[in-house]
Structure 1
Amino acid sequence: MRIDPQQPDLTSPPRAGRTCAGFLRRFAGDRLGVSAVAFAISFAVLAPMTLGIFDVYTATEQRGKLQDALDAATLYAARSPAMTTADIDVAGEKALAANLQMIHGASLRSSDFALVGTKVVASAAVDLPAFAPAEFTHRPVTVNSEVTRAGNNLEVALVLDNTGSMMGAPMTSLQSAANQLIDLVVSTTQAPYYSKMAIVPYSNAVNVGAYVNSVRGAAAAGTGSNVTGYSKIRFTSASGSTNTFNVSNCVSERTGGEAFTDASYAVSKVGWVYPASSGANPCIGAAIQPLTSNKTTLHSLVGALTAGGSTAGHIGVEWGWYMVSPNWGGLFPASSQPAAYGTEKLLKVVILMTDGAFNTAYCKGVISKPSSATDGSSGSSSDHSSCASPNGDSFTQAQALCTAMKAAPTNVIIYTIGFLHQGPDPQAEAILRNCATDAQHVYFPSTGAALQVAFQQIGADLNRLRISH
């Protein structure tokens, strides 16, 4: 068959179709190339952003964990008995380490706990793993926390045995232990909560110094015959002799209906003391120190303590109570006056220390003759009155005073310390167990080192009580 060259060739595609198909093939190839470039550009932009978002997520997660841990650690430090920034920091760091959860790759950069007034202020920072490129800013996660410590005001009377058996090393140990207690209990910062201490040295009596005329009455000139109130007393001794003794600034227990209460000195005067002219059982040299926050004053008194005389422990107990009793506040300067019983956020404490049994009581201003098997009334019978104590022996009186002091509404907390450096003493141990608030408030150290530990433990316990939970 011949094909006319003038007729179209129906067996081949038209030229226009061939051109269109080629264009489509070229377009498809160009589109794939553009998409690849667009994808590459998008990936280069979006990938770092995605990693940056992941950084933000991890930072947010770690910040929450760090804040929770720091809050818990700050609260723990605030509730601890720590009273210095150094001790607060130790407590806080320990608690933070126990509570902090870290995401993988994170590390604790820094942490700090400080005592600022009544607040514990803390901060911590954590370094995070970096997922986004270095061009993105990578800062540590930093959080802060602050807890205001609740607290109590503190009034403490420290009643210290200065009897003859404390002479030498025992007295040195007592002074060291008492000075440590002063530093533990009396805070340098007295606001918003105060901490004050009174000291009552005692042996066969208590020296009240310049307060003597107010609490027992002024001495009239002359000599009283078997009666107090004069500058001298003439009495018949337990041995039958007649003696004349001079009055002193020391005082003895009071008698009558207020013998075992803390009623004011204006209501009931305390007893007189006429020390033996022989020099046995003289008036103790160190006088009482009412409540103060002046640590220098307290340390000076402790440093001046000397040993001598027998043990009228009940008189020490009595004056320990008076030091924290609002009924006796009018006797002292305004800064030393105890607050009222029941005052909110106030603790009243008496710490009673002795190294032996209580063995000395009084009758009409002179050491009485022994009134019971437990009352030794130390010294010569010629220096003792022929009458027995109307209140009973020293043990009986101390027990009555402690029982009343601990009872409501007074609620005085009583710690007792038996310094048994001479060995076990059943009488002393019985007195101290009976006087203390409970068994957890009784200590029986037998060495100077153990005495210091006992005072330190009491100081720590008082600081714990001072910080309410």
Structure 2
Amino acid sequence: MWNLPKRTGLVNSLWRMIRDNRGVSAVAFAITFAVLAPMTMATFDVYQMNEQRGKLQDALDAAALYAARSTATTTKDIDIIGDKALLANLKLIPGATLQSSDFTLVTTGDAKVVAVASVRVPALAPDSFTHNPVSVNTEVTRAGNNLEVALVLDNSTSMAGASLTSLKSAANQLVDLVVGDAQSPYYSKVSIIPYGNGVNVGTYAAAARGATQSGTNGTAGTNGSPPNDNFKFVNTSGSNKTFAITTCVSERTGAQAYTDASPSSAPVGLNYGPGAGNPCISAQMAPLSSDKPTLHTSIGNLTSCCSTGGHIGVAWGWYTLSPNWNQVFTGNAAPAAYGTPHTIKALVLMTDGEYNSVYCKGVIAQDSTTGSGSSSDHINCNGTNGADAYAQAQSLCTAMKAAPNNVVIYTVGLNVLAKPEAQNLVNNCATDAKHVYLPADGTAMTVAFQQIAADLQRLRLSH
């Protein structure tokens, strides 16, 4: 242990000097602290702001990506989705608060989601510098696909009343949800295929089934000279009848019966029909279009009529999606080639299950089933393809789904659970079980179409 010297006068003087130096040191420390403390706290503020900026940027990037991958098609919906995702991902330092966030859907040029957000960070040295909120921004180019959708809609007599009303409403909603207002960089188009005993193809008739010539004969649909405008045949009772050509068409026969071959190489079937009882349906098909008013008009024209050749509707839904038919459907209505990058082709088949009409020589055949009109209007030969309408529809679905066509098929079977043939078609025609809808009434059918529209949007907005 140190032995301190006895305090003499000199020692006491030294101690006073030491004490004086301690005071000076304290003053110096106080001055230094007064200068350095704010600088230190300001430095810490800067550190906190940079830390929060990094956290905010990470969260905003994740939220914008999530919003871009959603099925939302309006800025309002994108903003709701983005805000929720941002709150779920954002980590705030103690005392910090989210001041604002905004997510905008840009549809001009490359579709993208643009996002900005700001956070107020607590200040330890508020007077050292201006403490503005921490702000960051980001943008995500939205994934996308072109979308071509065929709506194949039951227009037969059994759909009369509330069922058809519900179908119109459901189809109109799907069009509004699927067809985007912006058609660039990715487009979305829909075709409308009403079907009854056939499909009314209107002005496309000559290109699809060939031209006819004036006169009456009994060799409708044979090769060689064009068939006549009127066809004289023997009905199932052995009586002669004469029917006029219509702008409806029947099923294709021969080697290309269940393909999408060009009509120039394999014309579709003719349709000679009675003027009353079971005529050509009035509602005409409409090829692919992004014009919503035109599509709504086509849907509004649906009127229940006639027996049901559902397989013909399935075929024409496929034709409107097939590049092999580009000589018929041209311009904006022309389907893209199979395998075109970022292009989805889909068909929605709606039926209430009554497939009953097949054809021979352009007239409803004698082996058509109950509900196919008066037997006196049936020709005295069986369906040329040798299979009922359900089997023919299934063959078309199978071919359509196969590579390289890869058409996605949704089926909507309205109240078909008591109809085994219809239920089998609905289940087997669809891409898989997830694409099958079995509504029991019009309300459930509307929900089914909404769900299909949402799934189509998911396909359109994802790689």
TM-score by length of 2: 0.93
Q: Is the 8 A contact 2:390 2:422 kept in 1?
A: no
Rounded to whole Å, the distance in 1 between the matches of 2:126 and 2:196 is: 80
Q: Is the 8 A contact 2:152 2:348 kept in 1?
A: yes
**SS of 1:254's equivalent?**
coil
1:436 and 2:430 correspond: yes
Rounded to whole Å, the distance in 2 between the matches of 1:291 and 1:35 is: 89
Q: Is the 8 A contact 2:148 2:335 kept in 1?
A: yes
Shift of 1:259: 0.7
Q: Is the 8 A contact 1:369 1:377 kept in 2?
A: no
1:349 and 2:346 correspond: yes
**SS of 2:149's equivalent?**
strand
Q: Is the 8 A contact 2:320 2:329 kept in 1?
A: no
Which region of structure 1 is more displaced relative to structure 2, 176-185 or 44-53? 44-53
The answer for the alignment partner of 2:443 in structure 1 is 449
**SS of 1:324's equivalent?**
coil
**SS of 2:254's equivalent?**
coil
* Aligned mate of 1:107, from 66, 91, 97: 97
**SS of 1:170's equivalent?**
helix
Size of the aligned set, in residue pairs, is 447
Alignment map for 1:188-267 (pairs within 5 Å): 188-228=181-221, 229-267=227-265
Shift of 1:376: 3.1
* Aligned mate of 2:326, from 325, 329, 340: 329
Alignment deviations for residues 190-237 of structure 1 (CA, whole Å, 9 cap, x no partner)? 111111111111111101111111111111111111524111111111
* Aligned mate of 1:406, from 386, 401, 422: 401
Alignment deviations for residues 226-269 of structure 1 (CA, whole Å, 9 cap, x no partner)? 52411111111112221111111111011111111100010011
Rounded to whole Å, the distance in 1 between the matches of 2:262 and 2:417 is: 39
1:380 and 2:374 correspond: yes
Q: Is the 8 A contact 2:113 2:141 kept in 1?
A: yes
Alignment map for 1:144-159 (pairs within 5 Å): 144-159=137-152
The answer for the alignment partner of 1:56 in structure 2 is 46
Q: Is the 8 A contact 1:357 1:431 kept in 2?
A: no
Letter in 1 for 2:60: L
The answer for the alignment partner of 2:114 in structure 1 is 121
* Aligned mate of 2:271, from 269, 273, 284: 273
Q: Is the 8 A contact 2:38 2:128 kept in 1?
A: no
**SS of 1:321's equivalent?**
helix
1:464 and 2:458 correspond: yes
Shift of 1:102: 1.3
Shift of 1:357: 2.6
**SS of 1:200's equivalent?**
strand
Rounded to whole Å, the distance in 2 between the matches of 1:308 and 1:384 is: 17
Letter in 1 for 2:144: G
Shift of 1:385: 0.8
Alignment deviations for residues 76-125 of structure 1 (CA, whole Å, 9 cap, x no partner)? 11111111111111221221121111111111111111111210111111
Shift of 1:45: 1.3
Alignment map for 1:171-182 (pairs within 5 Å): 171-182=164-175
Letter in 2 for 1:86: K
* Aligned mate of 2:65, from 75, 83, 93: 75
Shift of 1:398: 0.6
Alignment deviations for residues 13-47 of structure 1 (CA, whole Å, 9 cap, x no partner)? xxxx98x8898667545533432322222111111
Shift of 1:428: 1.5
Alignment deviations for residues 272-323 of structure 1 (CA, whole Å, 9 cap, x no partner)? 111123x111111111111111111101111121111111000000000000
**SS of 2:425's equivalent?**
helix
Unpaired runs of at least 5, structure 2? 1-7, 222-226
Rounded to whole Å, the distance in 1 between the matches of 2:166 and 2:410 is: 18
Letter in 2 for 1:459: A
Rounded to whole Å, the distance in 1 between the matches of 2:151 and 2:92 is: 49
Q: Is the 8 A contact 1:357 1:427 kept in 2?
A: no
Q: Is the 8 A contact 1:240 1:382 kept in 2?
A: no
Rounded to whole Å, the distance in 2 between the matches of 1:232 and 1:318 is: 25
Rounded to whole Å, the distance in 1 between the matches of 2:431 and 2:417 is: 24
Please identify the structure whose Cα radius of gyration is greater.
1
Shift of 1:387: 0.6
Letter in 2 for 1:296: P
Rounded to whole Å, the distance in 1 between the matches of 2:129 and 2:318 is: 69
CA RMSD of aligned residues (A): 1.8
Rounded to whole Å, the distance in 1 between the matches of 2:73 and 2:429 is: 29
Alignment deviations for residues 390-410 of structure 1 (CA, whole Å, 9 cap, x no partner)? 112111111111111111111
Q: Is the 8 A contact 1:249 1:283 kept in 2?
A: yes
Rounded to whole Å, the distance in 2 between the matches of 1:136 and 1:256 is: 85
Unpaired runs of at least 5, structure 1? 1-16
The answer for the alignment partner of 1:170 in structure 2 is 163
The answer for the alignment partner of 1:364 in structure 2 is 361
Rounded to whole Å, the distance in 1 between the matches of 2:127 and 2:170 is: 60
* Aligned mate of 2:290, from 280, 289, 293: 293
Alignment deviations for residues 308-339 of structure 1 (CA, whole Å, 9 cap, x no partner)? 11110000000000000000011123111111
Rounded to whole Å, the distance in 2 between the matches of 1:446 and 1:224 is: 47
Q: Is the 8 A contact 1:361 1:377 kept in 2?
A: no
Q: Is the 8 A contact 2:230 2:243 kept in 1?
A: yes
Shift of 1:149: 1.0
